[in-house]
Amino acid sequence: MAKVTCVLYDDPVDGYPKSYPRDDIPKLEYYPDGQKLPTPQKIDFKPGTLLGCVSGELGLRRFLEDNGHEFIVTTSKDGPDSVFERELVDSDIIISQPFWPAYLTAERIAKAPKLKLVITAGIGSDHIDLQAAMNGGLTVAEITYCNSISVSEHAVMQILALLHNYIPSYEWVVKNGWNIADCVERAYDLEGMSIGIVGAGRIGFAVLKRLKPFDVSLHYTDRHRLPESAENELGLTYHPDVESLVRICDVVSIHCPLHPETEHMFNDTLLSKMKRGTYIVNTARGKICDRDAIVRALQSGQLAGYAGDVWFPEPPPNDHPWRTMPNHAMTPHVSGTTLSAQARYAAGVREILECWFDGRPIRNEYLVVEGGKLAGVGAHSYTAGNLTKGTDEAARFKKE
């Protein structure tokens, strides 16, 4: 019998939906690289419904309670008086998600002596102090690939939205305007431009594939070079470092994980090496960019636009400068939690829990930390260390 504490985002302001725009979602079996979609023995939810918010409960309540486990679901995650802080002290398992991150700091891990398993319902476990998880012998797992294609589609959408000045043009319509010149004074075609991808993993590679038909010049940098066949198929130019990539690109889309090597990678120095008028789209993690350096670069015109869906902290306070900086097209952290993606990550969490309770191994591709060290996908894509050394900022930032 385990206590499972789960932190999820709030329900819609007008209540949990009674109906949806569509009746179903496509049934997929495999991801593009051949990895099988989640294979739980059973699910207790309808794919295509809202599962990532508190009332959705990732569709887990019946499964957990029928098996005698205690299941706490909350949105209250920041600060010492939060429900999360209170419930974690005797929790065996914590489930959290990147869109509404329950920052699991070393201090919080130290307060949870029974904690054994931490599951990220999504991809990206940087809101967990992985070094502390390794030191504490915890298992950390995430649902690799569950929303990679969702994010790649969002990134392509934001690249086009920035280039074509879509959001300001939409706003003119809503304001009863027809201000063509106002709309197009910042509008360009993507065709012929050089696009650079930082981190050509599952998402980055999917973005490259999706951009190929736009007749652009495609560039990437990564710690591991792609196979020659992939480079040839898409006509990719490899750059051994990010500096060489940004010097020649018109658009840069960021898709590497946040870890000690990538924190604040896009700072004043790197931004100054870019072509004037470059666009950045960051759907990876907010802290890969230096918050204030991005604002300065937009204000000076060094950047023509910035979009993405990732911030630090999340949720950002009302006075977070990215809410009001010029020429941005930011969304909240939504790209990886479409209804389509939710069905996959809810099924993936269920698969991991079934394995855990049955004493079966968790798929290697889901593992981030196991047995005191980085494992599975974690060993491939992260570096050891406390990559979230700023997570305490989240609670502090909120109080300011």
Nearest distance from C-beta of residue 348 to ligand NDP, angstroms: 12
Q: Taking each helix axis as running N to C, give the angle between helix 202-211 and helix 148-163, from 0 to 180 degrees, rounded to the nearest 10.
A: 50
Cβ-based nearer residue to ligand NDP, 139 or 335: 335
Minimum CB distance to ligand NDP smaller for 78 or for 314: 314
Strands 194-198 and 217-221: parallel
Q: Please identify, using beta-carbon distances, which residue of 31 and 71 lies nearer to ligand NDP.
A: 31
Radius of gyration of the chain (CA): 21
To ligand NDP, the closest distance from the beta carbon of 338 in angstroms equals: 9
Q: Which is nearer to ligand NDP, 48 or 199 (CB)?
A: 199
Q: Which residue is nearest to ligand NDP (CB)?
A: 201
Query: Could you tell me the smallest distance in angstroms from the CB atom of residue 199 to ligand NDP?
Result: 3
Q: How far is CA 164 from the centre of its chain?
A: 24
| CB closer to ligand NDP, 183 vs 271 | 271
Binding site for ligand NDP (CB under 6 A): 122-124, 147-148, 151, 198-204, 221-224, 255-258, 261-262, 283-285, 309-310, 333, 335-336, 380-381
- State in angstroms the smallest separation of the CB of 265 from ligand NDP: 7
Q: How far is the CB of 186 from ligand NDP (least distance, A)?
A: 25
Beta carbon of residue 99, minimum distance to ligand NDP (angstroms, whole number)? 6
CB nearer to ligand NDP: pick between 59 and 98: 98
Q: How far is the CB of 205 from ligand NDP (least distance, A)?
A: 8
Nearer to ligand NDP, 165 or 253 (CB): 253
